[in-house]
Amino acid sequence: MTNGEQKRSMEVKNRIQSDFQQNMSYGDYLHLDEILSSQHRLSDHHDEMLFIIIHQSSELWMKLILHELSAATACIKQNNLEPSFKMLSRVSRIQQQLIQSWSILSTLTPAEYMEFRDKLGQSSGFQSYQNRLIEFALGNKNEHMLAVYKHDQPLYEKMQEALREPSLYDASIHALVKRGLKVDDAALSRDYAKMYEPNESVEEAWLTVYRDVEKYWDLYELAEKLVDVGHQQQIWRFNHMSTVERIIGHKQGTGGSSGVMYLKRALDQHFFPELWNLRTKI
């Protein structure tokens, strides 16, 4: 190493922060001690660590999805559509990350999973309240799903509040009206706690947007972002179902659900139905 190279190396070394007695470190900022000490295996089986980390990391990604969906919905309600496009694009990318996680979990074989499955007790991904909040935010409302949260009163109240809130799609339908497009009162003043049902006037409004993209470019862009999110959510559901079938077949879920059959039925629940129906009519 030349004298010049040695000097530059020493300058770089001197610039690197190494004293964190009074300063915040990377681990401090991210609370890594808490995060990395939260993987508690209930068995001695090697692969239980995979099972825990996949689900914990998925919950972190879901937290970010909810953060983005909430902000996007707020922007749409304020008739400020452009910022929502970036947020919804980010949601789609996060969903891709979640979809990929199923391929990692699928390295767990049926025999390996059965070595520690009984340790899960009655706990199940079916009980993931963040996944339920995502479904609510996208319009898939079902009050009966809240029963599993009654043991936690603050959470139960939070879930009830989310059930009654207008979804991302409800906000988008109101955005159509703000642009002068006609939508029936039945779609505008509906009970938000109920599952969204397709509405002919909503489909006609979206058709108007798709038939005059230049005039309604922002609404068209919003519609396609919604389709992206809905599509990715369906892929996530499918990969979830197929991974579960690969590992446990048609056994009952640990939380008491019908397992694969429940997940297959969920695939029939489409998000933003008018945006899919209109593709046949364009």
Is 250 annotated among the ligand-binding residues? no
Is 51 annotated among the ligand-binding residues? yes
What are the CA-CA distances from residue 26 to residues 34, 56, 187, 251 (Å)? 13, 21, 49, 44
Residue type present at position 142: N
- The one-character DSSP state at 251 is P
Is 238 annotated among the ligand-binding residues? no
Q: Is 108 left (phi over 0), alpha (psi -120 to 50) or beta?
A: beta
Is 254 annotated among the ligand-binding residues? yes
Cβ-based neighbour number of residue 69 at 10 Å:
23
Q: In sequence order, what are the residues at sequence separation of 6 or more whose Cβ sits closer than 8 angstroms to the Cβ of residue 85?
A: 221, 222, 225
Question: Do the Cβ atoms of 156 and 150 come closer than 8 Å?
Answer: yes
Cβ-based neighbour number of residue 8 at 10 Å:
12
Is 2 annotated among the ligand-binding residues? no
212-238 burial code (b ≥16 CB/10 A, e <16): eeeebebbbbbbebbbbbbebbbebbb
Is 113 annotated among the ligand-binding residues? yes
111-130 burial code (b ≥16 CB/10 A, e <16): ebbeebbeebeeeebbbbbe
Q: Closest Cα to residue 147, out of 129, 134, 131? A: 129
Is 76 annotated among the ligand-binding residues? no
- The one-character DSSP state at 256 is S
Binding annotation for heme: 240
Binding annotation for substrate: 51-55, 113, 117, 254
Binding annotation: 51-55, 113, 117, 240, 254
